[in-house]
Amino acid sequence: MADADTVPVLRLYLRKWGWEVGRFFEGVTKDASDEELAAIAPGFPVFRIG
């Protein structure tokens, strides 16, 4: 997926798994703004399956 399209996916992922994987997200949490998530999106590949 394009980085711009991954913000909602990253947010959902952090809501569900942030307690376990948060340390890999450079201090960004589920409560981050869209701009903050977009800034880190290039470092976190998101793939569509199916």
Is 30 inside any structural domain? Answer: yes
SS3 32: coil
Is 11 inside any structural domain? Answer: yes
Is 34 inside any structural domain? Answer: yes
Is 21 inside any structural domain? Answer: yes
Is 26 inside any structural domain? Answer: yes
pLDDT at residue 44 tops 90: yes
Domains in the chain: how many in total?
Answer: 1
Residue type, 39: A
Is 49 inside any structural domain? Answer: no
pLDDT computed for residue 17 by the predictor: 97
Cα–Cα distance measured from residue 46 to residue 6, given in angstroms and rounded to the nearest whole number: 7
**Domain range holding 31?**
3-43
pLDDT at residue 32 tops 90: yes
CA–chain centroid gap for 17, Å, is 11
Is 48 inside any structural domain? Answer: no
Is 12 inside any structural domain? Answer: yes
Enter the pTM of the model: 0.86
